[in-house]
Amino acid sequence: MKHLNEVQWALERRLNREKLDLKAIHRIRLRGVRSNDGQMFYYVEGKMSPIYKKERNLWRIASMQGGNVVLQAGGEVVGAIPTGLPAMQSIPLNWDMLQKLLMTALALALIGFMESASTAKHIASESRERLDMNQELIGQGMAKMLGALFQSMPVSGGFSRSVLNYYSGVKTGFSSVVAGLGIMLILLWLTPLFYYLPIPTLAAVIVYTALKLFDLDTIRRAFLVSKNEGFVAVGTFVLTLLMAPRIEVAVMLGVVLSLLVHLNDTMRTTFFEMVRDENNEFIEADASTAESQFCYLISVVRIRGSLYFAKGDLPLL
């Protein structure tokens, strides 16, 4: 077992080193020069002074395929997209795989539900419609189970697509049917047209829809209702920015923060002893209350705060 751990450690170290080397390679920028006989040469930008006329384009190493270096000028593009529809496949199940994927699956399920819930609540508040979260969970579960048969990623109601649909004027779920048919047509015949689509174009759509969800008024109202809830909202937002692209970790930390705040609020239950005033009404006793106002047989108390039983309702005997 010791030798196996050493081999695994050495393999991980080599893989990490290769990742760092690839990052360094992708950061290299090249200039092209054409010689008098028409041949093209490339040199590292800033490392030498070419004797021939240099090109205006700044090239970078996009990939290395079969010993050939693929150069690319400009920004990132989508590149080649596989053509055709995904085939239905069986799901191999074994205990070792379940053990490895259990915690990851739970985290993805929680994050997917929270993302869908927050998006659905935002759209429901904007459209003044009633939201049934139980039905939302059933729909998510069915979509995930069916998608797993086609090797799809875990699905959920996303910020980009749902909010984009809403602000585009979509009124019913039939838009998803139209979108699905459109994607089928694209996967079958139109994928070559997206090769040179810049990735920043896709990012612009996501940024536009995400900005619609950034509601400062909601955060301000959260501070007015409860400062702790406001700090949780701001803290989760800051963690999401700092830990990107590991958004799931930031969301989990936000859930933990919210749970700690909830426990802190519910654990601070206070009791006040009640006495009768001159009008024979109950008031809270304080340091100025006379000793004669207290009854030595019966004490009436008021509970200020949350008092609940986490295991459920208990019968009153």
Please tell me the distance from the alpha carbon of residue 124 to that of residue 121, in angstroms, as a whole number. 5
Instruction: Check residue 109 and give its pLDDT.
Output: 81
Q: Are 257 and 236 in contact (CB under 8 A)?
A: yes
Positions of the chain with pLDDT under 50: 1-4, 311-317
Instruction: Check residue 192 and give its pLDDT.
Output: 87
Please tell me the distance from the alpha carbon of residue 235 to that of residue 263, in angstroms, as a whole number. 17
Collapsed DSSP state (helix, strand, coil) of residue 149 = coil
Instruction: Check residue 95 and give its pLDDT.
Output: 83
CA angle 6, 11, 15 (to 5 degrees): 150
Nearest residue to 120 (alpha-carbon basis) of 88, 187, 166: 166
Please tell me the distance from the alpha carbon of residue 112 to that of residue 231, in angstroms, as a whole number. 23
Collapsed DSSP state (helix, strand, coil) of residue 51 = coil
257-272 core/surface letters (b: 16 or more CB in 10 A; e: else): bbeebeeeeeeeeeee
Instruction: Check residue 5 and give its pLDDT.
Output: 54
pTM of the model: 0.52
